[in-house]
Amino acid sequence: MTERAVRILVDADACPVKDEIYRVAGRYGLQVFVVSNGWLNVPQTPLIQRIVVEAGPDVADDWIAEQATDRDIVVTADVPLAARCVPKGARVIRPDGRVFDEDAIGEAKAMRDLMTSLRETGVMTTYNASFSKKDRSAFLSALDTQVVKLKRPAMRTVGG
């Protein structure tokens, strides 16, 4: 039985690292699915497929969660989407390079719930730090690491 190729599924609407994903995917020959609620410009290559889902809350997330497997890398900052993909074995990376895994997802969900509660009660307002070169670099490193980890078993079976 042939092992399915590694893919990258991108929660693309607000993703600041799409160009980096395209570069890494091209280097490794990986299929990329750019999922959004609206039309986005993507490079014209057979490796990159644009998936436009109907408008609505969580429609793009639903598509990604349904597709995600243990051979996929999901790029998202969305904690609930990550929580749906991690149990399926998908590698989930935030655009700032942090990896959601079984250990980190519980903490991320708790922090998200706490921050939501604090905003709802007016105790705190939302503050999002600007996306930095350091974040971009951390993302590239994390993506490369996850690609290598996922491709390694496939290389062993080919090489003997």
Task: Write down the domain spans for the chain.
Answer: 7-159
Pick the CATH number of 7-159 from 3.40.50, 1.10.3470, 2.20.28, 3.30.70: 3.40.50
What are the pLDDT digits (tens) for 5-38?
899 999 998 899 999 999 999 999 999 999 999 9
Mean pLDDT of 131-137: 91
Query: If pLDDT is split at 50, 70 and 90, which confidence band does 1 have?
Result: very low
Mean pLDDT of 106-134: 65
Query: If pLDDT is split at 50, 70 and 90, which confidence band does 125 have?
Result: low
Per-residue pLDDT, 7: 97
State the Cα–Cα distance between residues 48 and 64, nearest whole angstrom: 15
Q: Three-state SS string across 109-134, please?
A: HHHHHHHHHHHHCCCCCCCCCCCCHH
